[in-house]
Structure formats: C-alpha cells, structure tokens
C-alpha cells in the first residue's frame, strides 16, 4: 500500500493580518511547515500554530525563509552561504522552542519561497542549508524539491530527505517549478491539480509545460495554505488519495504527532 505525506505552509499570519485558514487546513494534512518569523509569522502566530498542530496530531516542521516580510519571502536576497547557514539555525531554533513548550518535537525543515527555489538550483546555498539542519539536529528531515540540488545536498550531509511535489504548480522540463512571475506558474483548476498529484504518486510522472512527461518522486505533497481555495482543495485531494488506497501520514521514521 502506498503512503504519502500531505504538507502545508502555515503560521503565515502577522499581527492583525490573517493569511489562510490554518485551523481548518490542519484537520486534513499530516505535516505543517510553520513560518519562523522571517518571511511571515510572529511569536504569537508561531506558538499558536504549533499548539494547534500538536493538538490535532499533525507533524511539525520549520519553514525558514529570507528576512523579507514585505515580499513574503518570495524575493531573492543576495546573501552569502554562511549567512544562509546562520538564518536557518536561528529559525529552526524558534520552532524548536515552541515545540518544547507544547510537548512535541520538530520533525522536518522545509525552506520557503525564494530561498527554497534558490537552493533547488544553487549547490552552495543548498549545502549551507543542509549543514545547518544537520548541525542543529541530524535527525531532522529535509523537505526539498524532487530531483533538486537541495535534495542532493541533504543526502550528502547525511540527512533523511523527503522529495516534495507541488499540487498547484506547473513544472519545467528540467523538473524545476515554473517561476511565479510567469502566467502559467499556477494550476487553478482543482480537478486538474488533483489528477496530476495522483499520477505523481501512482506513476512517478508529471507533464511539464512543454507537454513531455518527466520522472518525479513524491514523498510529500505541498498544498499552499495561503491560497484562497486552499481548504476546499486539500479536502478534495485528501478524499481522492484515500479513495485510491493511498495512506496519508507524516514522512519518516522520526515523525512526531
């Protein structure tokens, strides 16, 4: 029987500004990537999100990004790998403290936005991220884009790695995500997105923007929590996966929930 992890980027509200419908989305996922206060979130949102996920038995992950609240971490910053290393260590620490307070543990780390995309292609940045995670806790699982430099760096560092696929994004022929600046970056039709995910899980393939099929490994599926229809989509995706006899559970032997 196949199994897959279903994750979502949460805890991205800030102050009086609410983004997403975290409390409801949490009911349908197996792993939560919690913003650490750099690209989104704050101390109140972080603690609340970890608490809510823990109460629902959802696995906790750190979701570190560039220090760019105004750009939601989706703008690439020119930072030295040593600085990337430091910001990863710092942000994991914030989630670890919150997890300790609420009697749980951090299971994984998934970089956010521009940092994630940069690490997918840049070996030096990917290596800095992987080393930072390993040095904080070698049992943490690294979530990275399937087939990317980040996944390879994690494996070299000795980390357990989960290959991630995206339910609502299109792919380039080289396996990278289509940049959000391009019109065809997002898949808005829920039925199309669900069928693509089922194929990635069952067949290990996805159709790129040029029409060719590319091989892809789907250990964990990302559903963006900040999208307007996130809740409806995650419900439908979960329902379809279960109907296909696919078990939904946190990735890895060290998952806590």
Give the model confidence (pLDDT) of 171-186 as tens digits: 999 999 999 889 999 9
Q: Is 160's pLDDT higher than 70?
A: yes
Kindly report, residue by residue over 91-130, the tens digit of the pLDDT.
999 999 999 999 999 999 999 999 999 999 999 999 999 9
Kindly report, residue by residue over 16-41, the tens digit of the pLDDT.
999 989 999 999 999 999 999 999 99
State the distance between the two ends of the chain, measured CA to CA, in whole angstroms. 22
Residue with tokens 């990735």: 251
Are the C-beta atoms of residues 218 and 201 closer than 8 Å to each other? yes
Q: Is 256's pLDDT higher than 50?
A: no
CA pair distance 115, 150, nearest whole angstrom? 11
Tell me how far the alpha carbon of residue 97 is from its chain's centroid: 20
Are the C-beta atoms of residues 244 and 198 closer than 8 Å to each other? yes
Question: Which residues share a beta bridge with 59?
Answer: 31
Q: Give me the pLDDT at residue 167, please.
A: 87
Coil vs helix vs strand at 35: strand
The average pLDDT across 227-241 equals: 87
CA pair distance 104, 128, nearest whole angstrom? 26
Are the C-beta atoms of residues 232 and 190 closer than 8 Å to each other? yes
Question: Which residues share a beta bridge with 98?
Answer: none
CA pair distance 108, 60, nearest whole angstrom? 7
Q: Mind listing the domains of the chain with CATH numbers?
A: 3-248 (3.20.20.370)
Kindly report, residue by residue over 49-96, the tens digit of the pLDDT.
999 999 999 999 999 999 999 999 999 999 999 999 999 999 999 999
Q: Is 257's pLDDT higher than 50?
A: no
- As given in the structure block, the two tokens for residue 217 are 């490994």
Structure-model confidence comparison of residues 226 and 109, the more confident one: 109
Question: Which residues share a beta bridge with 248?
Answer: 4
CA pair distance 48, 76, nearest whole angstrom? 28
Q: Give me the pLDDT at residue 253, please.
A: 52
Q: Give me the pLDDT at residue 180, please.
A: 86
Coil vs helix vs strand at 24: helix
Cβ within 8 Å of residue 162, ≥6 positions away: 5, 108, 141, 142, 143, 144, 219, 220, 251, 252
DSSP H or E stretch at residue 176: none
């Amino acid at each position: 029987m196949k199994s897959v992890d279903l994750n979502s980027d949460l805890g991205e509200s800030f102050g009086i500004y609410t983004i997403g419908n975290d409390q409801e989305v949490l009911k349908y996922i197996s792993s939560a990537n919690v913003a650490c206060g750099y690209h989104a979130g704050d101390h109140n949102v972080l603690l609340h999100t970890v608490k809510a996920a823990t109460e629902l038995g959802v696995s906790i992950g750190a979701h570190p990004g560039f220090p760019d609240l105004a750009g939601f971490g989706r703008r690439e910053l020119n930072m030295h790998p040593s600085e990337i290393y430091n910001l990863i260590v710092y942000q994991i620490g914030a989630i670890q403290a919150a997890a300790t307070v609420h009697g749980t543990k951090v299971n994984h780390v998934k970089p956010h936005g521009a940092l994630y995309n940069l690490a997918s292609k840049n070996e030096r940045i990917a290596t800095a991220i992987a080393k930072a995670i390993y040095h904080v806790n070698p049992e943490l699982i690294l979530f990275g884009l399937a087939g990317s430099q980040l996944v390879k760096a994690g494996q070299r560092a000795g980390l357990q790695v989960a290959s991630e696929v995206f339910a609502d994004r299109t792919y380039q022929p080289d396996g990278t995500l289509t940049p959000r600046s391009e019109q065809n970056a997002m898949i808005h039709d829920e039925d199309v997105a669900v069928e693509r995910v089922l194929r990635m899980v069952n067949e290990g393939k996805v159709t790129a923007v040029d029409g060719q099929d590319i091989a892809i490994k789907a250990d964990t599926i990302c559903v963006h929590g900040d999208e307007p229809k996130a809740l409806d989509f995650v419900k439908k995706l979960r329902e379809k996966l279960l109907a296909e006899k696919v078990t939904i559970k946190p990735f890895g032997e060290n998952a806590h929930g």
